[in-house]
Amino acid sequence: AQTVTQSQPEMSVQEAETVTLSCTYDTSESNYYLFWYKQPPSRQMILVIRQEAYKQQNATENRFSVNFQKAAKSFSLKISDSQLGDTAMYFCAFMKQDDKIIFGKGTRLHILP
């Protein structure tokens, strides 16, 4: 069975700083997808970034980038130039082809003014 582990329950950083959220996962699959979702207080789960396991190049979306280490089964999210609007719960998630999405327990991120 696949598992996703987020070891940082809560983090705080100053506005404009860079922050890295950690995630590790366990799977025997070779082809899968990894995601970071953002969940603000409105509860709407929003996709931040996705990574295909067979791609070696790390995904980047504007201020958000990942460090994907397939052998180590590690998938961290880096937020550069953090903004107050980045304050939210962040969930790391795993999905194998056409299957359910498995979430970690989340990291609560506070961006401080």
Partner 1 sequence: EAGVAQSPRYKIIEKRQSVAFWCNPISGHATLYWYQQILGQGPKLLIQFQNNGVVDDSQLPKDRFSAERLKGVDSTLKIQPAKLEDSAVYLCASRSAPRQGRWNTEAFFGQGTRLTVV
Give the nearer residue to partner 1 in terms of CB position, either 64 or 103.
Answer: 103
Least Å from the CB of residue 103 to partner 1? 4
Residues of the shown chain interacting with partner 1 in the complex, contacts defined by CB under 8 A? 4, 6, 33, 35, 42-47, 50, 91, 95, 97-106
Least Å from the CB of residue 72 to partner 1? 21
Region at 47 (left for phi over 0; alpha for psi -120 to 50; beta for the rest): beta
Least Å from the CB of residue 30 to partner 1? 14
